[in-house]
Each structure stands twice: as structure tokens, then as C-alpha cells.
Amino acid sequence: MKSRSEVLLLTLDLAGVFVFALEGASAAISAQLDLLGIMVIAFATALCGGIIRDLLIGAVPPKAIQDWPYGSTAFAGGAIVFLLHGFVDRIPGPLMLLLDAGGLALCAVAGADKALEYRINPFLAVLMGGVTGVGGGTVRDVLLAHVPRVLESDVYASAALAGSALMVIGIKLKGSPMFMAIAGGTVCFLLRIVSVWQDWNLPKVLW
Amino acid sequence: MKSRSEVLLLTLDLAGVFVFALEGASAAISAQLDLLGIMVIAFATALCGGIIRDLLIGAVPPKAIQDWPYGSTAFAGGAIVFLLHGFVDRIPGPLMLLLDAGGLALCAVAGADKALEYRINPFLAVLMGGVTGVGGGTVRDVLLAHVPRVLESDVYASAALAGSALMVIGIKLKGSPMFMAIAGGTVCFLLRIVSVWQDWNLPKVLW
Amino acid sequence: MKSRSEVLLLTLDLAGVFVFALEGASAAISAQLDLLGIMVIAFATALCGGIIRDLLIGAVPPKAIQDWPYGSTAFAGGAIVFLLHGFVDRIPGPLMLLLDAGGLALCAVAGADKALEYRINPFLAVLMGGVTGVGGGTVRDVLLAHVPRVLESDVYASAALAGSALMVIGIKLKGSPMFMAIAGGTVCFLLRIVSVWQDWNLPKVLW
């Protein structure tokens, strides 16, 4: 039997997977993919970040390949977008933004924490937080033959890295892991929201 | 020494690798790649499905990286297309379709079976059958900077998934593995052939 | 404490990482990516070849994920290009070519040697040398949504494969590993330089 906090964590995790799957499936529909393509892109967007992290830190087989709840949740998200496309399309943008920022914060913090657990160097554990957060979207964009949006503009990966970095530094300074995870996640979440609201972007070199 | 059935299986496996390598090399020539590009795409198309599956289920190093017959067969396919391009181009389409469907069926069934052997959850073992069947073509299309064809239309990955699912369900219901593998492979093969013949496609969302 | 030759090897290795990071970051700037995109592409170009090799031969977590000097060097390269873009742009082409050929030779020889150490079949160890040399550039081109340049023209991967092959064959014929590594690296380096100078290309099929 699982403890109450484990159930809470799994629920949050699956909620993040679900939101990312909705987004992936919507992108697949815009690209005119068929039902299979929609399901594949939903799965890839929702789970490839964690899968890449797991392969890199040596946690094989990745959790998302070994256990069924992750894949099923991703496919449920894809199926809902396929069946109720008109409806999902009408979810207000700001709500999607909040949900997505929440999913990103969760992925980043959980990803960095898992890397620490596998004794990865703290600097690279922060990167693993970033990979967990944006890896899925990157794979989606590669499959759709775009340059990954996350590389071009927006404070997205940077928010994930900032949140992961705060958590990892806090834990290395003997902070309570639970507290630092909440602090890191909050920073990632707020940074993402505020950057969209204020239209922040990272600098480019233009000459 | 290998038993007769092991030799049979290896021969079938290498035949599938060879057919996929021919297809990959032809696509590379259409994309005007040079000799190295042709060999790389032949290798990737023929072997990346199995390599990705092996990485995901934790079977490292992947069989195709550890043993030489797989890579050599793929390169032989690439070389034949390079040297005899006019000739390979004249292989009748229906024959290529039959060979390709055979390769797909073999990959799907073998992939799902290997995942079960590595104690992957049955639901994800079915997915691994699909990955083994279509992973190589997906990598080929990503390297050629296309959206993977398998995501856009056709009953191709779906045939692989249907065959894998039949086999996995059968084995879980205590069917004979050998019998269920033949049944699953046959379903995949026929589904692929009939879908091309009848021009079946998966639904898209178009509004 | 590390021996003097280990320090020398690490220094050479990091020099190669640095050169590849400069090239990756320049490509990212040409593609108008933002600061994060520049850093990601610098990291990917410099380190993905080795990471892919390590995943394939079962050396997990890959060295570049476990230790901090590799990632830091790659990011330092990216940051320098970002801050001093005008300056880096003015590095003479022939100097970049020499540095790049040096990095390629180093990667190819080190990659093949590590594969042998992990008991990979010699034929595939040669391929692993090639993957180490060109994997990073291939991932960069995939992320920038191009067909990888290395597949289209130029003697680049071929030089890496030739150098790796010479080293692996030499070692299998009981040559001194150190001597064969230097010979293989030299062949790769010279082949690359001469092929650019003489405008050599691999054949394509054109009918």
C-alpha cells in the first residue's frame, strides 16, 4: 500500500502528464496528423522529457515504460482531444497557461530531485530538471519538423532551470528537501506566468 | 552451436533488416544524400526501431550494437541500392509491399516478445512492438527533416500495434507463445496489405 | 590524484568540446535562437556524440552527464560566442577548420577506444567512433530542422570512420593502443584537411 503523500505525488505527476498530453494532441491536430499521430504526439509530449532524463541518469527501464498509469493517462489526454476537439479548443488560454506552468514546475522539480537521487552532479541535476520540463515539447517539435519553440523565444526552459537550480542549491545547503521542492516549483511557476504576462524574452544576438 | 529454430529466427530477422535497409537507402537517394548518407539512413531505418526498444527496456548494449550481423546486413542493403540503383528501383511495388509488411510483422511481434521477456508491463510491451516496427522509419524521416509519414496517414503503426496486442493478450491468457506470435504476425501482415489494397486510413479531426 | 597523461587527455578532450561548442553556438545564432537556444545547441553539438555513444554501449550515466567539466566547458563556449559574437565570427576559416578537424580526430579515436573497452564488436566499435565524431553535429542539425549536413556531402564522417577503423584494426593486430590511437587520429585529421583543400566529396547516385 502506498502512503498518502505518495498518492498525492502520483496524482500531481499524472495531472502534469495529462495537461502536456492535451497540448501535444492539439499540436498534432493542427499539423493534420491522423488518430495514431495524435496519440503518439500526446505520449511523446507528455512523457519523453522524463524518459530522456531516465535514460541519461541510468534509471532504466524508465518509469513511464515500466508502469502503465503514465502511458494510459497520456493516451486518455490524446483521446479526449480527438473526441472533443471543439470543446478542448475552447479552454480559455489563461487557464491552459496556469495548468501548463504547473506541469512545468512539477516536472522540473521532480526531474532534478530524481537526478540527485541517482547521484548525478548537482550542476547536471539542474540540467536534468530542465530536460524533464522541456524534453517532451522538444521531441514533439522535432517530430513535427519545427525548430523547437523553446529554443527560439519565451522564458520557458529558463523558468524550469531557475526552479531546479533553487531546489538543488537549497538541498545542497542542507535545506529540507520538501520545502526546497515547493520553493523551487513556486519560482518556476511564477517566473513562467510573469514572463508571459510581461512579455519577457531572453536576449538574442542580432548583429 | 545454435539450434535449427534459432537459425530460422535469425534468418527471418536479418531478412527484415535487409528489406528496411533497401527502403531507407532508396529514400536517402531521393533526398540526394551522398554514399555516407545512404549508408547511415539504411542503418537507421533498418535498426533504430530495435535499438530504441532495447534502450527503453534496459537491454543495453542493444543487440544491433553488440553483434556484427545486423549492421553488416543493413550496410549490404545500402550498398546494393547504391550500386544497382536502377535495378532496385524496378522491383515491383506490390512485391516491396509484401516484403515490407513481412518485415513489419516480424519486428512488431519480436519487439513485443522481447519487452515481455524484460518484464515490461503488457500494455507497454504492445507499444514496444509498435516502436520496433516503426521506430526506424521515424528516425529516417526525422533525419530527412520530414514529419514522419507514419504519423500522418496509412494503417502502418496501427497494424504493428494490433499484431503486438493480439500476441501479448494471447500470451497473458496462457496461449502458446509460438502460436500467438504467428497469429499476431499474421494479423499485422494482413491488416497492412488489406489497408493498402482498400485504401484504409485512420480518421483525422478536420474541424 | 590524476596522472600527467590523464590530465593531458582530459585537457585535449575539453579542448575538443570547446571548439564544437563554439561552432554549435554560431549555428544557433544564425538560426536566430535566443540565449537559451544558443546554450542548448552549444551543449548538444559538443556533447551529444559522446552521450549517444555512451547510451549505446551501456556506459550509463554518460560521462558528460555525471561530471561537471564537460557541460561547463560547453556552456563556456556558448557564452563566449554570445558575448563576443563579432569577435568569434572573425576567427579565420582555416584556423576553425584545423581546430574542428582536431576535435573530430580526438572524438573518433576516443569513441572507438571506449567502445572496445566496453567489449563492443570491433566493426561496431568503428561505427561508435563515427557516432562520437558526428553525433553532436547531427543532433544540432535535427534541432535546427535541417537535414544533417554530414549526410549530404563532404568527407567528414568518413574521415572519422577511417581513423577509427585504422585504430581498431591496429589494436586487433596487437599494435600498441597509444601508437594506433595517434596513427588513427592523424589519418582522420589529414583526411579531413586534405578533403576540404582538394574539395573531395563522396559519390552520389544521380540517375
Cβ distance B143 to C146 less than 8 Å, yes or no, reads: no
Listed in sequence order, the residues at least 6 apart from C137 whose beta carbon sits closer than 8 Å to its beta carbon are: C20, C23, C24, C45, C49, C148, C149, C150
Look up residue A198 and give its DSSP letter: T
- Which of the pair, C180 or B91, is modelled with greater confidence? C180
Q: At what angle do helices B35-57 and A35-57 cross, to 10 degrees?
A: 80
Cβ distance C36 to A151 less than 8 Å, yes or no, reads: yes
Q: What is the nearest CA distance from A40 to chain B, expressed in angstroms?
A: 8
CA distance C65 to B25: 34
Residues from chain A contacting residue C65 (CB–CB below 8 Å) = 56-57, 120, 124, 128
**Could you say which of A51, A68, A85 has the minimum Cβ distance to residue B205?**
A85
The three three-digit cell numbers of residue B157, written as one number: 503503426
CA distance A135 to A43: 12
Whether the model pTM is above 0.90:
yes
pLDDT of residue C199: 86
Cβ distance C35 to A202 less than 8 Å, yes or no, reads: yes
ipTM of this predicted structure = 0.90
Length of chain B: 207
Nearest to A134 by CA among A152, A117, A119: A152
pLDDT of residue B126: 96
Q: What is the pLDDT of residues A63-113, one digit of tens each?
A: 999 889 999 999 999 999 999 988 888 888 899 899 999 999 999 999 999
Confidence band for A170, pLDDT divided at 50, 70 and 90: very high
Q: Where are the alpha helices (DSSP H) in A58-174?
A: 63-66, 68-83, 85-89, 93-117, 122-143, 149-152, 157-172
**Could you say which of B56, B145, B202 has the minimum Cβ distance to residue A36?**
B202
Q: Is the pLDDT of residue C207 over 60?
A: no
**Could you say which of A28, A35, A41 has the minimum Cβ distance to residue B202?**
A35
pLDDT of residue B8: 82
Q: Is the pLDDT of residue C193 over 60?
A: yes
Q: HEC states along B153-181? A: CCCCHHHHHHHHHHHHHHHHCCCCHHHHH
pLDDT of residue B2: 64
Any A CB within 8 A of B144 CB = no
Cβ distance B124 to A36 less than 8 Å, yes or no, reads: no
**Could you say which of A55, A65, A85 has the minimum Cβ distance to residue B124?**
A65
Residues from chain C contacting residue A49 (CB–CB below 8 Å) = none
Any A CB within 8 A of C65 CB = yes
Any C CB within 8 A of A158 CB = yes
Any A CB within 8 A of C71 CB = yes
What is the arithmetic mean of pLDDT over B21-50? Answer: 94
Any C CB within 8 A of A138 CB = yes
Cα–Cα distances (Å) from B13 to A125, B20, B107, in that order, read 40, 11, 8
CB A55 within 8 Å of CB A33:
no
